Amino acid sequence: MSMYTSNEKRYEKMQYNRCGKSGLKLPAISLGLWHNFGDNSDFSNMEQMCFTAFDNGITHFDLANNYGPAEGAAEINFGKILKESMHKYRDEMIISTKAGYYMWPGPYGDWGSRKYLIASLDQSLQRMGLDYVDIFYHHRMDPETPLEETMEALAQIVRSGKALYVGISNYDGPTLEKASAILTELHVPFIINQNRYNIFDRTIEKNGLKEKAKELGKGIICFSPLAQGLLTNRYLNGIPEDSRIRTDGRFLKENQLSDNKLNCIRKLNDIAQKRGQTLAEMALAWILKDDYITSVIIGASKPSQILDNIKAIENTTFTESELKEIDSIVASFE
């Protein structure tokens, strides 16, 4: 059992943003446990990533029931780190999890039924060794389950004390508005939307989510901010042999990296260099430039990447000409 004592100056550099109109603040940078916390990852490295994050003011750790591999493994590993090393800091941490994607066989382990959401959270709490999570999300829209049923399940979860706040993930603007109306009527602390957002993927601007969240006073937390690593210096000279494209291929495929896109990445890198940032730092800063983006979720495979990404908060101001140039570069490859 490793003894861990956190850095006493951990809150000095991180920026904390209010989550919509709620009382909760989140760090501008949050740590996601989607990749690199499964059974195929080194446990001591996972520990060091959690310690490094927390030592630098990253108080928010984002999980889901199906994060692994295998499903549930990230929660088990994070629960072990909590129990063995970080439990005394529990009240300084925001821990979130989700349910909505396939988790177990049969009709009750997927989508958005009351049965699935409540059973899944009970399993998640058991895996992590927790009495409650700070935020529980419905992970994706369910076209077949009535929205009222899913939202009432979230209400029951809060009333039972198993989550302090709720959020929704991968929703669009119109469905967000309907969900918000139901949750408001049920007096549920719905405070946050989690969606993919990066320089290449502007879906939340096109489907109304970004503006609707702002209008309703709900926070937005963004995942995949570096477009699976495309918005880093990793691919500036082509595809490295140890890259995710070569070694994994499940989420990022070689055909996503055309010559045109590589050219686009290099042009974006030129802007970042002029700003005195790496491409990754600029990509994170670009998301955080909007006051109503609460936080951005980074993934990491080693502690040094976390430290590099935190530097993004040092400069999140862009000139109009920089923003126009970024937009025109992205438009040129679409």
In tens, the pLDDT along 132-163 reads 999 999 999 999 999 999 999 999 999 999 99
What does the pLDDT read at residue 3?
82
- Amino acid 281 reads E
Residue type, 125: L
Per the prediction, the chain carries an average pLDDT of: 94
Q: Is residue 108 part of a domain?
A: yes
Domain that holds residue 190: 16-235+279-316
Domain membership of residue 186 (yes or no) is yes
* 251 has pLDDT over 60: no
Please give the pLDDT value at position 250.
58
Provide the pLDDT confidence category of residue 171 given band limits of 50, 70 and 90: very high
pTM of the model: 0.95
Q: Which of 69, 61, 3 is nearest to 32 (CA)?
A: 61
Q: Which two tokens stand for residue 115?
A: 């049965």
Encoded tokens for 30: 């949050």
The count of domains in the chain is 1
For 31-56, the pLDDT digits (tens) are 999 989 999 999 999 999 999 999 99
> Per-residue pLDDT for 257 more than 80?
no
Write down the pLDDT at residue 259: 84
Write the CATH number for 156. Answer: 3.20.20.100
Give a yes or no: residue 41 inside a domain. yes
In degrees and rounded to multiples of 5, residue 18 shows phi and psi of -70, 135
pLDDT band at 258 (very low <50, low <70, confident <90, very high): confident
Residue 47 is assigned to a structural domain of this protein: yes
Report the pLDDT averaged over residues 273-298.
97
| Inside any domain, residue 325 | no
Cα 182 to chain centroid distance, Å, stands at 24
In a domain, 240, yes or no: no
Confirm whether 251 is domain-assigned: no
Instruction: Give mean pLDDT, residues 289-297.
Output: 95
For residue range 309-318, list pLDDT tens digits in order.
Answer: 999 999 999 9
- 3-state secondary structure labels for all residues of the chain: CCCCCCCCCCCCCCCEEECCCCCCEEECEEEECCCCCCCCCCHHHHHHHHHHHHHCCCCEEECCCCCCCCCCHHHHHHHHHHHHHHHHHHHHCEEEEEECCCCCCCCCCCCCCHHHHHHHHHHHHHHHCCCCEEEEEECCCCCCCCHHHHHHHHHHHHHCCCEEEEEEECCCHHHHHHHHHHHHHCCCCEEEEEEECCCCCCHHHHCCHHHHHHHHCCEEEEECCCHHHCCCHHHCCCCCCCCHHHHCCCCCCHHHCCHHHHHHHHHHHHHHHHCCCCHHHHHHHHHHCCCCCCEEEECCCCHHHHHHHHHHHHCCCCCHHHHHHHHHHHHHHC
Of 92-101, 230-239, 276-285, the range with the lowest mean pLDDT is 230-239
Is residue 184 domain-resident? Answer: yes
Query: Which pLDDT tens digit goes with each residue over 202-245?
Result: 999 999 999 999 999 999 999 999 998 899 998 888 777 666 66
